[in-house]
Amino acid sequence: MRIKHDFHLHTHLSVCAKREVTAADYVANARRLGLKKLGFSDHFWDSAIEGANKFYQPQDYEHILQLKPELEQLRCDDIQFFFGCETEYDPFHHGVAITEAVAEQLDFLLVPNSHTHMMMPKDCYEPYRKHADFMLQALYEILNSPVSKYITAIAHPFEAVACPYPNGLLIDLITDDEFRLVLDVMAEKGVAFEINVSSMQKKTHDEIEKMSQIRLFRLAKEQGCRFLFGSDSHSAGSHDAYGNASFVADLLALTEDDLAPIARG
């Protein structure tokens, strides 16, 4: 199945993205790649929730709202835009760093359980099992939070960001049964599983098939999770390997019904 959506795009409003990358760049890429739906997901922490670190402090709602006029100006018939954000797991309140008031303003919402480089105490890096357990617990807390009904997808599930060792090792440590239990909750709550292709950018198809993530994707499908694809682009050039999204969709034999409702059509 050809994947014609990308619901994980960072613009210049994300402080870790390239200063010059705009929504217009992604529209140009989308035309080239045949994408019909673009979801903008700049990093976000709700200022009404205490605990934002230095990275998140400037990235509040007022800040990400600056994208709206940019999207208005770009309005086009061939590509649909969705205004959302990638918010954060909030370990301090065992929930998510967004209020219902803001969540209901968005077209879609991504929440990661794997920004462990920012949200996890450093002493959890080793033994590796502690790191894996942190992500499992984070996911349960995200799914049990009062805003769970607004969550469209879990961003890059269990793919620990900026991990000092290969993050696939953490996925390998979690058993099928442990994954099944939490994936069941995702399926039941209608929270989709993001297939984030940023980790596949420089890989061949053979190498992708051998990634630890593939076992997890297959389990997610078996448990009835829906999927959402994202490039996690932080610059205009990071879209170039987006064909990997369609490769993985075929590898998993996904059909339209397996996609999150927002991504269909």
Q: Summarize as ranges the residues that interact with Zn ion (CB under 5 A).
A: 86, 112, 155, 232
| Least Å from the CB of residue 88 to Zn ion | 9
Tell me the one-letter amino acid at 229.
F
| Least Å from the CB of residue 45 to Zn ion | 13
Q: How many residues does the chain have?
A: 265
Cα(8)–Cα(194) distance, integer angstroms: 9
In our burial notation (b when 16+ CB lie closer than 10 A, e otherwise), range 130-166 reads ebbbbbbebbebbbebebbebbbbbbbbbbbbebeee
Helix and strand tally (H, E) in the chain?
11, 9
| Least Å from the CB of residue 112 to Zn ion | 5
Q: Which of 3, 1, 55, 2 is nearest to 231 (CA)?
A: 3
> Of 72 and 162, which has the nearer Cβ to Zn ion?
162
| Least Å from the CB of residue 255 to Zn ion | 26
> Of 1 and 211, which has the nearer Cβ to Zn ion?
211
> Of 194 and 258, which has the nearer Cβ to Zn ion?
194
Q: Strands 95-96 and 89-90: what pairing?
A: antiparallel
> Of 86 and 141, which has the nearer Cβ to Zn ion?
86
| Least Å from the CB of residue 257 to Zn ion | 26
> Of 155 and 197, which has the nearer Cβ to Zn ion?
155
